[in-house]
């Protein structure tokens, strides 16, 4: 009795392996014409997780302050270029007003961001 059970279990196991082999072979061969689809299939079968192409996110406020600081420094550097006397014969007039102070940046609301994205030009 045990011998029959064991042989049936072995047969069942062999049939499962054969079915899996056929399934995976058909899955790979059906996507072999499309390389992108083939690699997606292979990665799924191997349980590969795709790595994120985007960097990890930073909090909105620190990102806003980082941008503000970057542009504030750029504007200050540009302003100092125009305030130094030039030795060339062409005259570049000094700006009439001072540059705005970008040391503080108020984050945009979700509504303002959405409105901005909807009204932005879509040309590439």
Between CA 71 and CA 75 the distance in angstroms is 6
Going from N- to C-terminal start, the domains of the chain cover 2-45
Q: Can you give the pLDDT at residue 93? A: 62
pTM of the model: 0.36
Q: What is the mean pLDDT of residues 52-70?
A: 76
Structure-token pair, residue 67:
């941008």
Between CA 56 and CA 71 the distance in angstroms is 22
User: Residue 5 to residues 1, 2, 8, 11, 109: CA-CA distances in angstroms?
Assistant: 6, 5, 5, 10, 69
Is it the case that residue 65 has pLDDT exceeding 70?
Answer: yes
Residue partners of 64: CB distance under 8 A and separation at least 6: 105, 106, 107
Per-residue model confidence as pLDDT tens digits over 71-107: 888 888 887 877 655 555 566 666 656 666 777 777 8
Of 118, 23, 116, 102, nearest in space to 66 by CA: 102
């Amino acid at each position: 009795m045990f011998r029959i059970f064991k042989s049936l279990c072995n047969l069942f196991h062999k049939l499962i392996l054969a079915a899996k082999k056929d399934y995976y072979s058909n899955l790979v061969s059906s996507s072999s014409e499309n390389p992108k689809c083939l690699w997606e299939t292979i990665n799924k079968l191997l349980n590969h997780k795709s790595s994120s192409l985007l960097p990890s996110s930073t909090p909105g406020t620190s990102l806003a302050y980082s941008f503000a600081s970057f542009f504030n420094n750029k504007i200050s550097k540009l302003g100092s270029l125009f305030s130094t006397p030039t030795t060339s014969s062409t005259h570049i007039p000094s700006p009439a007003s001072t540059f705005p102070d970008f040391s503080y940046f108020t984050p945009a609301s979700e509504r303002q961001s959405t409105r901005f994205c909807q009204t932005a030009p879509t040309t590439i």
